[in-house]
Amino acid sequence: MEPFDDYKTLVDQSVITSSTDLHGTILYASQAFCRISGYSKQELVGQSHNIVRHPDMPSSIYRDLWKTIGRGEIWRGELKNRHKSGRHYWVEVEIFPNYDLDGQKIGYTAIRHDITDRKRVETLSDTVEQSERKLSEYLDIIDENVITSSTDRYGTITSVSKAFCQISGFDREELIGRNHNVVRHPDMPKSLYKELWDTLLQGKVWRGEIKNRKKNDGFYWVDVTIKPEHDQNGNVSGYFAVRHDITDRKKIEQLIITDELTGVYNRRYYNQVLMGEVNRAKRNDAWLGFLMLDADNFKQYNDGYGHLAGDKALQAIASTLKQVFQRNGDYVFRLGGEEFGILYSYDTPEEFLSHAEKARKAVFDMAIEHKENAPHDCVTVSAGFQLIDPAKVYNADAILKGADHALYQAKEKGRNRIEVSGI
């Protein structure tokens, strides 16, 4: 637990975060939140978030915010907040719903990033033409602190800021003249870049979050805005990109959505992403599959071998499932106890079941001794599969119910097998 405690301390000290109930009453505020707002935890907990609301922010922003999170979706935006002293500060905010183990929404968590300095730079940019001195200072600030780059219309880099070089680990000379693929990370799906280029080629601005590769093969995350640039005839001549480093935020987000024991996604993240992925697949006329797996006779395993051995067995199962389901777009969840869920995509029902069988066999082939799991005498899993047809309408309860019923059938028919839902 010590590493996890260290993470919690890191979050509390470094990340501007808070949790509220369904009505916006503050239940928790980090030390970082207290520092930037000027309030103590005692002054914040029990208060409405209106305590830091700045009068400059229009009511329409908050109406949109509440409508979004009320639908169970994540709200992202920029807010000007009021410090206890009366001065202001700016934050980039991400607010997402919290759910209990039954999938019921119980409140909201917000993660913020201080963008006060960036806002000051933006304000400075509005007056840059008034003074050559201010222009020079502004450009120095941009070069040192803002991750920017320019490319020609084919994506070949023509300029980069010092901040870009610092975060990527490349020198300017190593970047100029090369395609932006030099920092492309293999974890990012091709579909994202297709959407990016489709947007830019329409002359529109593209915004999104991208994981990039460092020169040393490490990674960093950036929030990107890419804008087309035009020549005097109005034709696109290249592109200008401004980025914001969100690596720490992504690490914290990963911690929040990860099961502490096994390292796979947790039940909270399952509740967040399930219907979003179902609706995305429906728009793309693509099939999805949901596989629910449960370790067989696992209570007897814990009773016979001890809970420490049980934890290690669950970790081994999770690791094996991650090896089988490792494509972009595959999700492995621990739903609770010894129960896991997999959300994945293929083109045909046969491919779905083939991959599910591969997962079942991979767990069996670990050959972890389990004398109380006859006739196999090793750790096995039973699974229920629910095919999600893009031509049909589903809700989260129906998907879970279908897979759970099939899982029950697999247990009844002898365990260590997969059954398919008829729903």
In whole angstroms, what separates CA 138 from the centre of its chain? 33
Helix or strand run (H / E) with residue 89: strand 88-99
* Separation of alpha carbons 199 and 312, rounded Å: 47
Q: Residue 83: phi, psi to the nearest 5?
A: -75, 155
AA letter at 158: T
* Separation of alpha carbons 225 and 246, rounded Å: 13
Strand-pair partners of 243: 147, 224
Task: Report yes or no: 83 and 38 within 8 Å, Cβ to Cβ.
Answer: yes
* Separation of alpha carbons 149 and 165, rounded Å: 10
Task: Report yes or no: 341 and 291 within 8 Å, Cβ to Cβ.
Answer: yes
* Separation of alpha carbons 305 and 422, rounded Å: 37
In whole angstroms, what separates CA 51 from the centre of its chain? 29
Looking at 137, 144, 277, 338, which residue is catalytic?
Answer: 338
| Residue entry with tokens 């700016």 | 90
Q: Token pair of 408, please?
A: 């029950």
CB burial class (10 A; 0-12, 13-18, 19+) of residue 55?
A: exposed
* CA distances, 364 to each of 6, 140, 290, 376 (Å): 35, 60, 20, 9
Active site residue 338: yes
Task: Report yes or no: 257 and 268 within 8 Å, Cβ to Cβ.
Answer: yes
| Residue entry with tokens 């290690």 | 312
DSSP, res 72: T
Strand-pair partners of 210: 222
Task: Report yes or no: 15 and 111 within 8 Å, Cβ to Cβ.
Answer: yes
Rg (CA), the chain: 25
Exposure b/e, 200-222, CB count within 10 A at least 16 = b: beeeeebeebbbbbeeeeebbbb
**β-pairing verdict for 381-388 and 418-420:** parallel
Q: Token pair of 48, please?
A: 């409405």
User: Could you list the active site residues?
Assistant: 338
